[in-house]
Amino acid sequence: MDGNGRWARSKSKPRHSGHRAGVKTVRMSVEKAAERGVEHLTLFAFSSENWARPEEEVSRLMGLFVEALRREVAELHRNNVRLRFIGALEQLSSGLREKIAKAEAKTASNTGLQLNVAIAYGGRWDILVAAKGLAKRIADGSLRIDEVDEREFTVGLQLSGTPDPDLLIRTGGEQRISNFLLWNLAYAELWFTDVLWPDFDVRDFDAALEHFCSKQRRYGHTGDQVEAVQC
């Protein structure tokens, strides 16, 4: 969800106003994903590298997370959305962790859209944690090294139990994945747009879905072996 700061600068506003404007786009994206039958939506809200941003900006972002949880969880729950947070959550304040835990517990039994929110998350960190988990299991004898395969490895990833993403959407004009879900995105379709996140609207969302629907997903097979994506 890239471009909040540039959006604010283009309007001669402070950066935090861009982050606040971006919350409206998050709300729209969640609503439209649910309406269009998307089963899993993962938002890259705050990366492990974002800790290096100015202290005031980080503080305002954390405050915005707290505010969003307070304001949005009840509505998400009413709409049968299940919330899940991934990342190095131990790096967050105790107050924010408490609100995250309550939000997850409140929505745990919901059966609609699963909304994953990545905070203090990095793809390399995710892979390292999974690798350390495998090493520990091998060291304690609960797993043999010849039993290690992709299935065993993915058990330790943050999105364990969730299907790999079909589509990555990135706003703001950059064409890179910036350390997001490095393992999980191996076969995802990638859709980039110059639109800044606060300006990303329903038409842009649908354009990304249409792009995905135009693709033939081969996974190493030939085009004759597979059919086009059914949307």
Residues labelled catalytic: 2, 50
**Euclidean distance between CA atoms 215 and 189, whole angstroms:** 8
**Euclidean distance between CA atoms 112 and 125, whole angstroms:** 29
Q: Dihedral of the CA atoms 50, 51, 56, 62 (nearest 10)? A: 80
Helix ranges, the chain (H): 4-10, 15-35, 55-78, 94-107, 123-139, 150-154, 202-213
- Per-position DSSP letters for 77-116, written without gaps between them: HHTTPEEEEES-GGGS-HHHHHHHHHHHHHHTT--S-EEE
Query: Is residue 66 within 8 Å of 94, Cβ to Cβ?
Result: no
Nearest of 154, 161, 90, 166 to residue 126 by alpha carbon: 154
- Helices 15-35 + 202-213 axis angle, to 10: 50
